[in-house]
Amino acid sequence: MMQEFLQPISDDFGLFLQELSPARLGKQIKLHTQGNFPDLQDVKLAIITVNEFRGGDWDEIGLDFNHFRKNLYQLYPGNWTSVIADLGTLQPGNELEDTYFALKQICEELYKKNIVPVVVGGSQDLTYAMYRAYDRLEQMVNLVAIDSKIDMVQEISNPSENYLTKIILEEPVNLQNLSNLGYQTYFNSQEEIDLIEKMYFEAYRVGEISNDLALAEPVLRDADLVSMDISAIKSADLGYYSQFNPNGFDGREICAISRYAGLSDKVSAFGFFNIDNKSERSLLLSQIIWYFFEGYNYRVNEYPYISKESYFKYIVPMEEQDLVFYKSDVSERWWIEIEYEVSKDTIRKSLFPCSYQDYERSLQHQIPERWWKAMKKIYL
């Protein structure tokens, strides 16, 4: 069904691809060309470009993503085993809602095939369609937005700046947790920041993450859907941008964050939004996507696929209850155990991603903030 919505890659790429050496990434990606939709039997990652900007506050007419594809295809892959497909471009529907519907159908089909859609382009409200694609899977969704803004401004009609409000309020409510990485305080109202706290969601300022990139890893490890806005990156590293921003993540930091997202065993969808049709931006974008692929190919599938016997267990005595930590003997990543009452006679335990710093703080009798917020959401 997804073939009906997706436009094949431009015929102009034929000559470009012929000139690439066999070692380049473009020679190893399955391509949707005219009259030839790729077999998805063994595909694990699928690129989809979306030419839809009506939900944003700027228009990009005739975006063809050629710069992005050329820059990506020319890169060399690592020692990867996962098969990648480029499924082409989703063009705008008659109405914005038509584009949402088409992207939702595409992502839903890919989720069911255990293929991770990598959606590029368009305004960030397209995250809403990717989120709604989980509806029929009947699962709760953890969403991580990497953005300079929290995008919960209710008095603004621009969908790209209030799509999170729609996700939070609209039935069916599948949202389990929302995290923002890289917000810049002066771009966000105090009401938005307070609302995040009141709902026990998570928000990390750009300075917090830049000072210690490891803070982002457990947040992304717990994500199902990751949505990245180009505005999270400072303009100097983009080679200028139409909405100039002197602050944000630099190129190295955003690539590291993208790799963390790829490494997460849970992440089943990744989106990068608000790019324009300029080659200098596309070079960094292609590298960000490359690092997501790199992370994906180094997934260890250690949770929840293996037993607790594969972890080292640490118990930290606290006043009210002991905190139980687990450290993987494969990746050396950390989890904390959450224990809660499902019914009068049933206690459930689950593992929640955390950092080594959380364990260290607990030794000083400090409750990890992520654990505290998770418990609050369970009981409120």
* Predicted pLDDT at 214: 93
* Predicted pLDDT at 330: 86
Give yes or no for residue 242 having a pLDDT over 70.
Answer: no
CA distance 126 to 311: 38
> Please, are residues 90 and 49 in contact by the beta-carbon 8 Å criterion?
yes
In a domain, 254, yes or no: yes
**Last residue within a domain, chosen from 246, 267, 297:** 297
In a domain, 211, yes or no: yes
Give the domain CATH number at 139.
Answer: 3.40.800.10
Q: Which of 12-21, 43-52, 103-112, 200-209 has the lowest mean pLDDT?
A: 12-21
Summarize pLDDT for 265-298 with one digit per residue, the tens: 999 999 999 887 665 678 899 999 999 999 999 9
Number of structural domains (the chain) is 2
Summarize pLDDT for 298-349 with one digit per residue, the tens: 999 886 555 667 789 999 998 878 999 999 988 899 999 988 776 777 778 8
Q: Which residue has the higher pLDDT, 225 or 341?
A: 225
| Range 175-198 burial, b when 16+ CB lie within 10 A, else e | bebbbbbbbbeeebeeebbebbee
CA distance 363 to 99: 50
Give yes or no for residue 3 having a pLDDT over 90.
Answer: no
Domain that residue 330 falls in: 308-379
| Together in a domain, 272 and 327 | no
First to last CA, the chain: 41
> Please, are residues 9 and 86 in contact by the beta-carbon 8 Å criterion?
yes
Give yes or no for residue 63 having a pLDDT over 80.
Answer: no
Could you give the percent of the chain with pLDDT greater than 70?
92
CA distance 293 to 283: 15
* Predicted pLDDT at 155: 62
Give yes or no for residue 15 having a pLDDT over 90.
Answer: no
Summarize pLDDT for 118-156 with one digit per residue, the tens: 999 888 999 999 999 999 998 899 999 999 999 887 666
| Together in a domain, 275 and 127 | yes
> Tokens in use for 324?
């139980």
Give yes or no for residue 7 having a pLDDT over 90.
Answer: yes
| Together in a domain, 216 and 338 | no
Summarize pLDDT for 160-185 with one digit per residue, the tens: 778 999 999 999 999 999 999 999 99
CA 23 to chain centre: 28
Count of C-beta atoms within a 10 Å radius of residue 70:
18
In a domain, 303, yes or no: no
In a domain, 218, yes or no: yes
Give yes or no for residue 43 having a pLDDT over 60.
Answer: yes
Give yes or no for residue 10 having a pLDDT over 70.
Answer: yes
State the pTM of this model: 0.94
Q: Which residue has the higher pLDDT, 303 or 374?
A: 374
| Together in a domain, 121 and 236 | yes
Q: What value does the mean pLDDT of the chain take?
A: 89
| Residue 243 φ then ψ, to 5° | -110, 85
| Together in a domain, 264 and 334 | no
